[in-house]
Structure 1
Amino acid sequence: MMHSQNAGSLDTVEPQDADYSYVPSLSDDLALLILARVPLSEHAKLCFVNQRYLSLLRNGELYKIRKEMGIREPSVFLLASGESRWRALDPRLGSCRDLPELPSDWCFTSGDKESFCVGTHLLVSGRELEGLVIWRYELLANRWFRGPPMIGPRCLFASASCGDFACVAGGIRSEGLRAIEVLNSAEKYNPHTRSWELLPNMLRQRKMCSGCYMDGKFYVIGGVDERNRDLTCGEFYDMERNVWDLVPDMINVTPGFARSPPLVAVVNNELYLLDAPSNQLKVYLKGSNSWRELGPVPVRADDRGGWGVAFKSLGNELLVMGSAQNAPGIRVMTICTCCPNPGSNNLQWQVRRSNGHHSSPFVFNCSVMVA
């Protein structure tokens, strides 16, 4: 069996079938059921076993089987201050690995970026010297690919993984470094065809907004309009009706508080908000279009207006990453999770991983892939 210290793309792997004649053979169906239960963090090792396993990884068949079996394992993709590469984390197992170096130019590397996951793709949008581009990391190949670009390139947009697709909406259209227009356009990305498709325009132009997927609909919440006014409304795209519906007064805005886009996450089809000014976790009450406080979060979101804090859904848990609430002056990233209960104020946060390797607890980009 071949071993490699520098496993790169699956395209370059050349496994040699080992002699397992002394091991009782398993039926193909039973072997697939066993392989489907292997954690994602161990999949890179499977490609060295034999050609069959490598093919299952390359063509995505193993991930289809996992989906049919209801195995949905979240992985966290992170780019933090002081890090030159993206990392893949499993906070539950405490595992961490570096992704291959992203082959972009210095402008993309040093500039602001936005990221989202769908299927087994991580998409990172940013600016290169020639303009806005997207780089795509494919888990199956363990490689970065350039493109495809959005139909309408943008920055400061909302995004969310919506089942088999990812949706983006709003943001800014620019020429060079100059903002030209605040957008109300929307698109969806198909990871199977690696292509974009236009959606109907939103009802409002908005930038610095946030997206989420709830009740089978793509929600876009908050942000700033074309006149630089704060938006308290949200809206959602109904995929069955192919229309947008407005939700007035969906979110509160603290006057005079410079802030990031709303920190929102959906767990078990319930919408949660990390309110940066108060460091409070809130749950959205759909029936009354209001919010209920559940208690404080264990990271500081108030000192930078929510910038540098990651707030994501991790399966049936909430994930927060940032500077510890009770450790002022200590520059260490803290990673915590909890299983929220919309009807309870008793939050049980669990510290998953505190990594002193980071020079700063500031999170540039964070996305969760469920595969």
Structure 2
Amino acid sequence: MLEGRSFLVSRTLPSSLEQENKWTYTTCRVGAEVSNGKRPFELDLEEEGGLRKASKVSDHEENLPRAQFDRLSLTLAAPIDHAYNQRQSSDQADTSSLIPPIGRDLTINCLLQCSRADYGSLASLNRSFRSLIKSGEMYRIRQQNKVIEHWVYFSCRLLEWVAFDPVTQRWMQLPRMNSNECFMCSDKESLAVGTELLVFGKDLMSHVIYNYSILTNSWSSGMSMNSPRCLFGSASLGEIAIFAGGCDSQGNILSSAELYDSEKQTWVTLPSMSKPRKMCSGVFMDGKFYVIGGIGGSSGRALSCGEEFDLKTRTWKEIPHMSPGNHGSSPGNGMPSPAEAPPLVAVVNNELYAADYADMEVKKYSKETRVWITVGRLPERAGSMNGWGLAFRACGERVIVIGGPRGQGEGIIEVNSWVPSEGPPEWRLLGRKQCGSFVYNCAVMGC
């Protein structure tokens, strides 16, 4: 990412463009940090020429001839002016090469250095830029080049979602979900896969899935699993996701599983687990999918085992003692607390961590000994109700904890970050927002 460097220069968008794409900004400054009271993407203009030159160059920029990179800034400015002032003629122009003077490939290589927060503005330049972004092609190119940004999406109010970029520490409001009261009040699960945020819930007599696309900045519905369910364990790996266990519409606990491909928009039934379970969690680790903990069997007992699914052999293997447990919240007879949340787990660099919300501790799973080891504390103000209302997620190289103080009436949510590779948990407060202190749903999108 080009930190703190001007890459595109734009002018205030006409209201028609702002209405078409709420993700547009008046300026596009790549990766700018918040400093001196300025927001990211604010831009200072030089008196002469109206363009601010980059004070430094990144490793990627250094690979470009200086004159060529300067020409890139100028050629980018011209299409922006053209798009803002004469949008109709711009849409009709032949712009298949995006920026003709430097060619399509070099243009795309430069766009890879932009944060995806800039892509709404880029889509406003002309038809080819719009197609590149909204078709998902740019995200496929990013994935091929291993350019990934992890954003956190969460909901603290019914039907309302916000996104948070932990790098720029910028908040973004998503459009409000358009659903009926039944779905609004039902229990919901969420998962991000590819460029989609999926929210699962109930609508009158059936399960329903709402899909938020970052390509269109809009919600849609109509998708359906092969075996609709709720209270399942799930996780995503790039553009695929696996869903296992849960309950059907009659309340039966399931052992079945299925895979969703966000590129093909297809659901594929997988072999069933050895044990039915609900209220479980799912993660990907070492290229395999794991289901951890939950409640299983007719007696509704808590399961301490996990199950591992090998995508290559398409087989399940039971892993004993994989559930982290929360010994402070269970009656002690193997029966879970009625209000106990599924295990709060996260995988960073193929290492498994868990939040023990009873003792406010962070634990790490030893793959060799298959035991959980306490490595530190959770953020002190990250309260929960038996694990509910607290988000514990992997976000790239970080573990993210989202929660707020309970019982103080503050209505504040805080985003805390810890990088495990740097040592024991030392939490850094990344952001604070007045939106309630209970997290209903949370997902991390990496694309």
Common fold by TM > 0.5? yes
1:305 is matched with which residue?
386
Provide closer, same or farther for how the CA distance between residues 15 and 366 of structure 1 changes in structure 2, counting only shifts above 3 A. farther
Q: 2:146 & 2:315 partners in 1: Cα distance?
A: 30
Q: 1:225 & 1:198 partners in 2: Cα distance?
A: 21
1:234 aligns with 2:234: no
1:323 is matched with which residue?
404
1:99 is matched with which residue?
174
Alpha-carbon contact 2:382-2:401 (below 8 Å) kept: no
Q: 2:304 & 2:266 partners in 1: Cα distance?
A: 32
Query: Structure 2 residue aligned with 1:295, among 367, 373, 376?
Result: 376
| Secondary structure class of the residue paired with 2:17 | coil
1:334 is matched with which residue?
414
Q: 1:15 & 1:116 partners in 2: Cα distance?
A: 37
Provide closer, same or farther for how the CA distance between residues 15 and 312 of structure 1 changes in structure 2, counting only shifts above 3 A. farther
1:246-285 C-alpha deviation (Å, 9 max, x unpaired): 0011124323254200000000111110111111111111
State the number of aligned residues.
356
1:166 aligns with 2:244: no
Alpha-carbon contact 1:311-1:321 (below 8 Å) kept: yes
2:292 is matched with which residue?
221
Alpha-carbon contact 1:159-1:211 (below 8 Å) kept: yes
Q: Normalization by structure 1: what TM-score? A: 0.90
Higher relative contact order (CA 8 A, sep 6+): 1
Identity of aligned residues (%): 37
Query: Structure 2 residue aligned with 1:192, among 263, 267, 270?
Result: 263
1:316-370 C-alpha deviation (Å, 9 max, x unpaired): 0000000159x9664311110010149x4x3221100011x21x21000110110
| Secondary structure class of the residue paired with 2:223 | coil
Alpha-carbon contact 2:163-2:173 (below 8 Å) kept: yes
Q: Which segment drifts farther, 247-256 or 309-318? A: 247-256
Q: 2:240 & 2:288 partners in 1: Cα distance?
A: 12
Q: Give, in angstroms, the shift of residue 100 of structure 1.
A: 2.0
2:103 is matched with which residue?
27
Query: Structure 2 residue aligned with 1:60, among 136, 142, 148?
Result: 136
Query: Structure 1 residue aligned with 2:349, among 268, 273, 292?
Result: 268
Alpha-carbon contact 1:299-1:322 (below 8 Å) kept: no
Alpha-carbon contact 1:15-1:47 (below 8 Å) kept: no
* Structure 1 unpaired stretches of 5+: none
- The residue identity in structure 2 corresponding to 1:335 is V
1:74 aligns with 2:150: yes
| Secondary structure class of the residue paired with 1:134 | strand
Q: 2:213 & 2:293 partners in 1: Cα distance?
A: 31
Identify, as 1 or 2, the structure richer in strand.
Answer: 1
Alpha-carbon contact 1:105-1:129 (below 8 Å) kept: no
Provide closer, same or farther for how the CA distance between residues 9 and 296 of structure 1 changes in structure 2, counting only shifts above 3 A. closer
| Secondary structure class of the residue paired with 1:52 | helix
2:63 is matched with which residue?
none
1:202-246 C-alpha deviation (Å, 9 max, x unpaired): 011100000000011110000001321000000011111110000
Alpha-carbon contact 2:383-2:403 (below 8 Å) kept: no
Runs of 4+ in 1 over 4 A off after TM superposition: 299-303
Q: 2:120 & 2:138 partners in 1: Cα distance?
A: 13
Provide closer, same or farther for how the CA distance between residues 135 and 247 of structure 1 changes in structure 2, counting only shifts above 3 A. same
Q: 2:387 & 2:143 partners in 1: Cα distance?
A: 34
Provide closer, same or farther for how the CA distance between residues 220 and 15 of structure 1 changes in structure 2, counting only shifts above 3 A. farther
Q: Give, in angstroms, the shift of residue 95 of structure 1.
A: 1.4
1:48 is matched with which residue?
124
2:79 is matched with which residue?
none
2:49 is matched with which residue?
none
Provide closer, same or farther for how the CA distance between residues 207 and 370 of structure 1 changes in structure 2, counting only shifts above 3 A. same
Q: Normalization by structure 2: what TM-score? A: 0.75
| Secondary structure class of the residue paired with 2:442 | strand
Alpha-carbon contact 1:8-1:143 (below 8 Å) kept: no
Alpha-carbon contact 1:299-1:323 (below 8 Å) kept: no
RMSD between superposed Cα atoms in Å: 2.4
1:354 is matched with which residue?
432
1:284-337 C-alpha deviation (Å, 9 max, x unpaired): 110110111111010556641110001111110000000159x96643111100
Q: Larger Rg: 1 or 2? A: 2
Q: Give, in angstroms, the shift of residue 102 of structure 1.
A: 1.8
Identify, as 1 or 2, the structure richer in helix.
Answer: 2
1:109 aligns with 2:184: yes
